[in-house]
Copies of this chain bind each other. A is one copy, B any other.
């Protein structure tokens, strides 16, 4: 990053009619994401910056950028909104940051499907489809800031996963247009099993310019919060509620005391300091069923948006901005020394494992669960707050989880493989050889590319599994 890439000037010249930014402060800002959630990545990536930000407005312009950069051996790192948590969008080798924020047209809406450009904001897609009674199945809690392309290339699931599983599941993306990084970039129309190549690949094997996503029925989801005396009471309530096939939810999360009271400042008035909560988004017409279920389980509904006054609601963030990685964000705003982990509690022992880990770590890891469908079952991920002390202790906490049968998708690693999210294999590597023969796309993120001796048989479950 200190040596100037000699390809930069010819690239700048070839693209001079495009929108290019080279002010170092702005370039650095556009080279960062939410990597600072992790004290480990913060040390490793703090100085990373690209050299130029190019902001294409059309697919043709994307192709021109890739062609020029290929010719002159300039790395290209795609950027959606830069809300990833693992430094995914950070250009380790400098070069061009390809900012897709302006490639954001919504092109077609049909029953059960929407076609849009990759840089479209997720909430903007819903804004366009909602008048027709439809919305996206899944969105990250960064609904209002993230792009759909960034979600597919760098995210995994979130709100809606209690109903639909994750992006890893066949059917949650219908198709994608992908531009390769070659002398003559090709346009690939990927669908079905092929999509696995570009999902959660951090833009290492092509630039997604357009996606077709499934839609589902849109509702005025009702935010509901139930309070419990203990974390495990809240967890067991959510675990049972997730199994209710007839109660339509879009979000089902559980957050341990003292997080809700300490970090959810605008909801504090509903909560006791020692209260753990279950947060839900419920279809309006499912509220009688939800209320019956809550009563049967003696759950205390401390907040329900369907009966709250209008001005009461005005000041509150939506429930989805208390959940997933927003829980951690709210924590970081109050206490910048915390961090987090990402754990899978595999079905069917999820409650037993959650209980064991809760007992083992106590207030060092205040619990946070997100319930999802995972391979056909309802189970939960853990995104506990970690009261960070040292990298060594963090590693130990991870090891203790893994030894207890709870895989960790380590958010303190910036490579595809080490994060445990994406499994690479011969097929994945072969595809990269075709789509990015010079290895210019987001260099440094795929170990299998950089290390010819990489052992694909590496154990550990992967969220996005290998291609065969």
Contact = CB atoms under 8 A, between A and B. Distances in A.
A81 to B, nearest CB: 24
Contacts of A286: 171, 214
A288 B174 contact: yes
A26 interface: no
Given A111-B219, A214-B286, A285-B112, A171 B248 contact: yes
B284 A111 contact: yes
B245 A165 contact: yes
Which of the four size classes fits the interface of chain A?
Answer: 35 or more
Interface string A186-218: 000001111000000000000000000010111
A186 to B, nearest CB: 20
Contact of A192 (B133, B169, B288): B288
A351 B284 CA distance: 37
Residue among A110, A113, A171 having the largest count of chain B Cβ atoms under 10 Å: A171
A245 B169 contact: yes
A220 to B, nearest CB: 7
Contacts of A165: 245-246
A292 B170 contact: yes
A357 interface: no
Nearest to A284: B112
A101 interface: no
Contacts of A283: 112, 214
Given A111-B133, A172-B246, A175-B288, 16 more contacts: A111-B217, A111-B284, A112-B217, A133-B133, A169-B244, A169-B245, A169-B247, A170-B244, A171-B244, A171-B246, A171-B286, A193-B292, A243-B376, A245-B373, A245-B376, A348-B348
